[in-house]
């Protein structure tokens, strides 16, 4: 408490009733949330079972839980600090029977969803060539996030996608339920439906969670908002933490009005603003404040720091994107040489991922190490998904998407026609697909060789499922993969031995991950491990610094939220890029794009460089570019034209770069 400033202390001490904590960028909100939780536990003597803290990423939840555990010790045992989706799964595992599901339901990944959707489209005679399945899944996801059920969806009569979705959505949900499965968006939607439809279940969870805290409240969508509202309805002890100026995820359903209207939802709520910034210099904060105050609908606040004015903001005006990348790289080399800095101090932030090309090429040319945030997740790699699918079927034989994934991996001579006949027979006789495999001898249209292969697979999986124990999970799975001879399959099917080895190492990591999970988790189960995989956020390989990598980070502005770097290069500040052309068309005020620019500026700790181009290439044609309106909103006295120092600065850059390479060669 002694380390907190006055508004932070006020936020910690306000525990009864509603509290809106408006926490600006870099204002120490995580410390406030965790200290507030410990205050409830140690000073107010509130049971850990009665406290709920919700955030958006597993990483943030894990960090909060670790901090609370360090400060509160055993008093924190049993506290729920989780993501929205982990909370939803917790509710559904206990009470989903009331909705007609079994508690061991599977949570389908995006590829599993796609398989179910395509089956629903086939049954409704919707041609995927005429109606993109990915667009339909996106549409269904949006409906679920707005809590619109198949029966409630009213399509526009002149919209082909909506009309097709209206035909497929009900069947898609029926198929999921038949497989005893839900998709990611169902987690919150079904949790809300459960609480709305059953007063006893609602009462249980309201009594359980008497004190509720929600981090990043500006990012909540309609379903998340309603879930929290239902839980807080009885006791009203709800603290939401967020910053409407950092609401940048409207494109995926986040509704900034949730935080702007909090006072209307909870009349008499206390509002506390955290405006002291502990991250950036005054120059950076003055620029950020000057940009964001141009948004007409926002809560009034302004970041400030006691840390000093700092350097001005460098402005690079380049002829084109190649020169922009070259000058950014030159600037980095100069800064790195001057300060003997690690490359991980530097980040390049852009509006569109396509902008990374020029920077990647230039950094590679200059032999500057870099990482591009946005690579494929471990659990999204094909061989990993194949391995995990075996675990899903062991845990839930009714998971037909996973069953279809593994039935011919490794290859067993079970072709598409055999699968089609198995599916048709399963539907016609109203039996689960796994049971149909065991009755393959009854299916006339399948060849004897295929029947033999299907029967052998069914017997093997039945034996594995029946014999799967509750301990030594990693060892059991490793024995299964050895039995399947997956390594031989990968070497046989991949012409490149090095690629086969990489994929084998990935499968090995599945086993390692399960073994580590079992060692670190009391009463670990296969279900809990699979649940953890399903709930993993789409957090890319963002924190290479955590793994000891010394590299420049290239990332989109959307991916940068929550991160900070000593030196930030905010590139491409041009009209139709930042703000983006599509966003200008959708909202001429560019409110969310301005917030995105604000987020980018406030990622910088010590120094910010902004760049723009006079021209860019589009389909090979050179186009003139206009400076971003956001650039005009930054006071001129804060900007230093990186070209006005003339030949001296350019010469210094060249000399320093030469010295840098001389140093490298010497080493």
pLDDT score for 376: 44
Domain residue limits at 256: 6-92+189-274
Domain shared by 634 and 556, yes or no: yes
Cβ atoms of residues 414 and 407 within 8 Å = yes
Domain shared by 75 and 200, yes or no: yes
SS3 419: helix
Q: Which residues are annotated as a binding site for ATP?
A: 23-30
Sign of the alpha-carbon dihedral angle for 628, 632, 633, 639: positive
Separation between Cα atoms, residue 632 and residue 635, nearest integer Å: 7
Is there a domain that residue 184 lies in? no
Domain shared by 338 and 365, yes or no: yes
SS3 73: helix
Is there a domain that residue 361 lies in? yes
List the beta bridge partners of residue 113. Answer: none
pLDDT score for 656: 42
Domain shared by 560 and 646, yes or no: yes
**Residue 149 DSSP class:** -
Q: Which residues are annotated as a binding site?
A: 23-30
Sole residue written with tokens 């027979």: 425
Domain shared by 346 and 268, yes or no: no
Domain shared by 85 and 212, yes or no: yes
Is there a domain that residue 651 lies in? yes
Pairing of strands 181-183, 346-350: unpaired
List the beta bridge partners of residue 211. Answer: 51
CATH number at residue 38: 3.40.50.300
Domain shared by 235 and 334, yes or no: no
pLDDT score for 496: 61
Sole residue written with tokens 């205050």: 39
pLDDT in tens, 29-87: 999 999 999 999 999 999 999 999 999 888 889 999 999 999 999 999 989 999 999 99
Nearest CA to 362 out of 336, 324, 318 is that of 324
pLDDT score for 110: 80
CATH number at residue 136: 1.10.10.160
Domain shared by 502 and 439, yes or no: yes
Final residue of a structural domain among 179, 213, 243: 179
User: How many beta carbons lie within 10 A of that of residue 485, not counting itself?
Assistant: 12
Final residue of a structural domain among 126, 144, 179: 179
Separation between Cα atoms, residue 544 and residue 343, nearest integer Å: 11
How many structural domains compose the chain?
4
Domain shared by 579 and 605, yes or no: yes
Is there a domain that residue 260 lies in? yes
CATH number at residue 461: 1.10.486.10
Final residue of a structural domain among 155, 179, 203: 179
* Main-chain phi, psi angles of 41, to 5 degrees: -70, -50
Separation between Cα atoms, residue 123 and residue 199, nearest integer Å: 37
**Residue 619 DSSP class:** T
pLDDT score for 498: 61
Is there a domain that residue 281 lies in? no
Is there a domain that residue 553 lies in? yes
Please identify every residue annotated as catalytic: 29-30, 215-216, 246, 603
55: left (phi over 0), alpha (psi -120 to 50) or beta: beta
Cβ atoms of residues 246 and 25 within 8 Å = yes
pLDDT score for 620: 58
pLDDT in tens, 457-513: 999 999 999 999 888 898 899 999 999 998 888 887 765 666 777 788 788 878 888
Cβ atoms of residues 35 and 1 within 8 Å = yes
Domain shared by 82 and 223, yes or no: yes
Is there a domain that residue 317 lies in? yes
Domain shared by 412 and 455, yes or no: yes
Domain shared by 632 and 601, yes or no: yes
Is there a domain that residue 242 lies in? yes
The series of mean pLDDT values per 10 residues for the chain, 667 residues long, is 91 94 92 94 94 91 91 91 94 94 89 89 88 87 92 89 93 94 94 95 96 94 95 95 90 87 93 94 96 93 92 94 92 93 95 83 88 66 88 93 91 88 89 92 89 93 92 90 88 69 80 83 88 61 49 91 94 94 88 95 96 82 89 93 50 43 47
pLDDT score for 314: 95
Pairing of strands 238-242, 211-214: parallel
Nearest CA to 318 out of 333, 330, 306 is that of 330
């Amino acid at each position: 408490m002694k380390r907190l400033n006055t508004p932070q202390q006020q936020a910690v001490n306000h525990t009864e009733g509603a509290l809106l904590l408006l926490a600006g960028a870099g204002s120490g909100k995580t410390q406030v949330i965790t200290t507030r939780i410990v205050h409830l536990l140690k000073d107010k003597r509130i049971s850990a079972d009665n406290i709920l803290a919700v955030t958006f990423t597993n990483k943030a939840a894990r960090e909060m839980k670790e901090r609370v555990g360090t400060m509160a010790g055993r008093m924190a045992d049993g506290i729920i600090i989780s993501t929205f989706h982990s909370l939803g799964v917790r509710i559904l595992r206990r009470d989903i029977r009331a909705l007609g599901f079994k508690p061991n339901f599977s949570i389908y990944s995006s590829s599993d969803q796609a398989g179910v959707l395509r089956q629903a489209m086939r049954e409704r005679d919707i041609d995927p060539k005429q109606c993109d399945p990915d667009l339909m899944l996106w549409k269904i996801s949006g409906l679920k996030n707005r809590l619109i059920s198949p029966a409630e969806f009213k399509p526009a009569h002149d919209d082909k996608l909506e009309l097709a979705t209206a035909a497929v959505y009900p069947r898609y949900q029926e198929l999921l339920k038949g497989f005893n499965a839900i998709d990611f968006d169902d987690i919150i939607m079904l949790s809300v439906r459960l609480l709305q439809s059953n007063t006893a279940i609602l009462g249980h969870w309201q009594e359980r969670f008497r004190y509720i805290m929600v981090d990043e409240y500006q990012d909540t969508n309609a379903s998340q908002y309603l879930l929290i509202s239902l839980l807080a309805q009885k006791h009203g002890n709800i603290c939401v933490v967020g910053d409407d100026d950092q609401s940048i995820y409207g494109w995926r359903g986040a509704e900034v009005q949730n935080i702007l209207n909090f006072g209307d939802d909870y009349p008499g709520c206390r509002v506390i603003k955290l405006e002291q910034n502990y991250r950036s210099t005054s120059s950076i904060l003055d620029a950020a404040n000057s940009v964001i105050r141009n948004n007409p609908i926002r809560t009034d606040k302004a970041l400030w720091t006691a840390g000093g004015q700092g350097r001005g903001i460098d402005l690079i005006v380049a002829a084109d994107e190649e020169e922009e990348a070259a000058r950014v790289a030159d600037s980095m080399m100069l800064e790195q040489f001057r300060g003997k800095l690690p490359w991980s101090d530097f980040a390049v932030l852009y509006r569109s991922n396509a902008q990374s090309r020029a920077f990647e090429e230039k950094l590679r040319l200059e032999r500057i190490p870099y990482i591009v945030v946005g690579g494929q997740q471990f659990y999204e790699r094909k061989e990993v998904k194949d391995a995990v699918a075996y675990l899903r079927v062991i845990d839930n034989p009714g998971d037909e998407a996973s069953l279809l994934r593994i039935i011919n991996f490794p290859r067993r001579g079970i072709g598409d026609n055999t699968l089609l006949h198995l599916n048709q027979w399963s539907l016609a006789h109203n039996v689960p697909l796994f049971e149909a495999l065991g009755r393959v001898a009854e299916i006339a249209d399948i060849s004897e060789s295929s029947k033999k292969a299907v029967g052998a697979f069914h017997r093997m999986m039945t034996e594995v499922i029946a014999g799967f124990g509750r301990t030594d999970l990693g060892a059991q799975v490793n024995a299964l993969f050895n039995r399947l001879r997956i390594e031989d399959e990968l070497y046989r099917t991949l012409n490149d031995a090095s690629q086969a080895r990489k994929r084998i190492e990935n499968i090995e990591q599945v086993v390692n991950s399960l073994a580590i999970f079992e060692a670190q988790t009391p009463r670990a189960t296969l279900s809990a491990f699979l649940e953890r995989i399903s709930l993993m956020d789409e957090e890319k390989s963002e924190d290479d610094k955590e793994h000891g990598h010394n590299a420049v980070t290239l990332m989109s502005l959307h991916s940068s939220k929550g991160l900070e770097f000593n030196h930030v290069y905010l590139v491409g500040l041009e009209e139709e890029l930042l703000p983006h052309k599509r966003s200008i068309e959708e909202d001429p005020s560019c409110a969310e794009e301005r917030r995105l620019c604000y987020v980018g500026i406030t990622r910088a700790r010590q120094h910010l460089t902004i760049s723009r181009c006079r021209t860019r290439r589009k389909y090979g044609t050179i186009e003139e570019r206009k400076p971003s309106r956001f650039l005009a909103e930054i006071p001129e006295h804060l900007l230093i034209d990186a070209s006005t120092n003339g030949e001296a600065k350019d010469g210094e850059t060249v000399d320093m770069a030469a010295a840098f390479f001389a140093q490298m060669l010497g080493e």
